[in-house]
Amino acid sequence: MTSVNFNAGATAALQTLRNINDSLDKTQNAVSTGQKVSSASDGVAYWSIATTMKSDNKALGAASDALAVGSAKVDTAYSAVDSAIDVVNEIKAKLVTASESSSDKDQIQLEITNLQDQLSSIGQAASFNGENWVVAGSQTQGTVVDGFIRNSSGGVQITTATYDISTYAMFDSIQANGAGTGGILGAVMTIALTSTMTQGQIDDYMDTVETALSSLTDSGAALGAMTTRINLQSDYASSLSDAIDSGVSGLVDADMEEESAKLSALQTQQSLAIQSLSIANSSSQNVLRLFQ
């Protein structure tokens, strides 16, 4: 039966066209954005996971930047310790020279004094971004941000690497006159040769220097170990970031080959649906011929 009030064929054709247009809109959005899930409405579960992981990856990138700053602080401190070892070795050599009975100990002390001033200068200059790990001051630990993690319960945590400044500092403080005091090198700074000094006293100074060298070596080793940890963590953070990016891509990125094929098919279906709707609409016009 043909009715002028309701065209069932046109209604069916219109519904089909609407469905095709909805699918075409989604496919065109996927092609233009490169994502099959670009909003929560496209897939709540995948969108939620991807949003969280993108946020975590950004935090991980910030932690990697902090690692670079931390690496610079460690390198600065290590350079100071390494230079200090060279200077203390020079002081050691001067004390050996002073052990010769015919040596001029007063002149040797002038050289040692200059070397002591150099140690103070090294300690004072070893500052990066306002932090000096070789002059303790009020510091007890140096801290470097080395990671960002999310635990199994969903909580987040910033991880850090620490350096024991109170144990490994070259000096406790730098006095107003620029001289370093306390710390690993405090006793070295008190060395003062005189022409009347005995060999036993010089030997005591030698023991002082050896103790300082041993402590400086421990300090350098601690800084070296920290550098290794920072480098390993930096490499791991880079790999982890790539893995997260890959995982997020698998969740939300569109398969462009598939979307391209789908787009062509939907465009063809759209053309056919439009023609079908046109045919369905024109069928009702045939009723007029019955009255001619």
Q: What is the 3-state secondary structure (H, E, C) of 236-274?
A: HHHHHHHHHHHHHHHHHECCHHHHHHHHHHHHHHHHHHH
The shares of helix, strand and coil residues in the chain, as percent rounded to the nearest 5, are 70, 10, 20
pLDDT digits 0-9 by tens, 12-31: 878 888 888 887 777 777 77
Instruction: Measure Cα distances from 196 to 93, 101, 102, 185, 262 in Å.
Output: 19, 11, 12, 25, 98
Give the CA radius of gyration of the chain. Answer: 39
Asked if residue 1 has pLDDT above 60, the reply is: no
Position 236 scores a pLDDT of 80
The mean pLDDT value for 146-157 works out to 69
Query: Within the chain, what is the greatest distance between any pair of CA atoms?
Result: 142
158 pLDDT band (50/70/90 cuts)? confident
User: What local confidence, expressed as pLDDT, does residue 290 receive?
Assistant: 64
Q: pTM of the entire structure?
A: 0.72
Span 275-287, mean pLDDT?
73
CA dihedral 67, 68, 70, 73 (to 10 degrees): 170
Q: Indicate whether 291 pLDDT > 90.
A: no
Average pLDDT over residues 77-93: 95
As its CATH architecture, domain 60-252 has Up-down Bundle (1.20)
Give mean pLDDT, residues 211-220. 95
User: With bands split at pLDDT 50, 70 and 90, how would you rate the model's confidence at 172?
Assistant: very high
- Write down the pLDDT at residue 47: 81
What's the pLDDT band for 115 if we cut at 50, 70, 90? very high
The domain locations on the chain are 6-34+254-292, 60-252
Q: How confident is the model at residue 5 (pLDDT cuts 50, 70, 90)?
A: low
Q: Which token pair is 148?
A: 């960002």
* Mean pLDDT value across the chain: 84
